[in-house]
Amino acid sequence: MNNFSLIFRLIPLELLNTLYMVFISAFFAFLIGLPLGIFLYLTNNERLCPSVWIHRLLEMIVNIGRSIPFAILIVAIIPFTRFLVGTSIGTTASIVPLTVAAAPFMARIVEGALKEVGGGVVQAAIAMGASTLDVVLKVLLPEALPTLVRGGTLTLVTLVGYSALAGLVGGGGLGKVAIQYGYHRFNGVLMGVTLIILVLLVECIQKIGNKIAIQLEKKRGLI
């Protein structure tokens, strides 16, 4: 089978698989990372819900999650992946380690975004009688939204790279094409095409994310 046949047979399907893995795992990482990042911020803020021990525990969880290389993580949690989806191989199975890797990363992004909100704004909301929940939902998250969008974009870009690495251990997507059909079969053309598509995918995600963040900043008069 020539290169053109391989490209048209493999690339479209595996590109869709990559998008599926990246966006579904980003969704679950956001569901986990957003509340985790909020609690990291709240438990370290003297005006809201300070708790040294809870903050240290959350920090330890996040730091451990971020310190494990993805290539090791994807192998280490194979039993957990099998428990959740019934297999450790394939596109859907790859979502589990991708989510586990991205969730602590997202938590740190959320915490950092909330810290950028001016303390005066938070203090004013508290002085007006706002509850902690009101401060989070009506002050912190709206004010931090542009930064959160940029952080979410960074998470998506990181997940694209992780999804390609998942091809080393039987994951689907463009990483599978590059490794199984490009590297293992010494097909430089197919590997090159896959690499170009991955670069273009990252560029598209980055540009769309930046555009959304800029529009949000314009609405708030920040630029």
Provide the CATH number for the domain around residue 55. Answer: 1.10.3720.10
Contact at 8 Å (CB) between 112 and 123? no
The predicted-structure confidence for 83-94, as pLDDT tens digits, reads as follows: 998 888 888 889
Residue 75 has pLDDT above 80, yes or no: yes
Total domains in the chain come to 1
Structural domain containing residue 147: 3-219
Place 185 in a pLDDT band, splitting at 50, 70 and 90: confident
The predicted-structure confidence for 112-133, as pLDDT tens digits, reads as follows: 999 988 778 888 888 888 788 8
Across 13-22, 65-74, 126-135, least confident range: 126-135
**Total-model pTM:** 0.89
Q: Please, what is the average pLDDT of the chain? A: 88
Between helix 188-219 and helix 3-42 the angle, nearest 10°, is 40
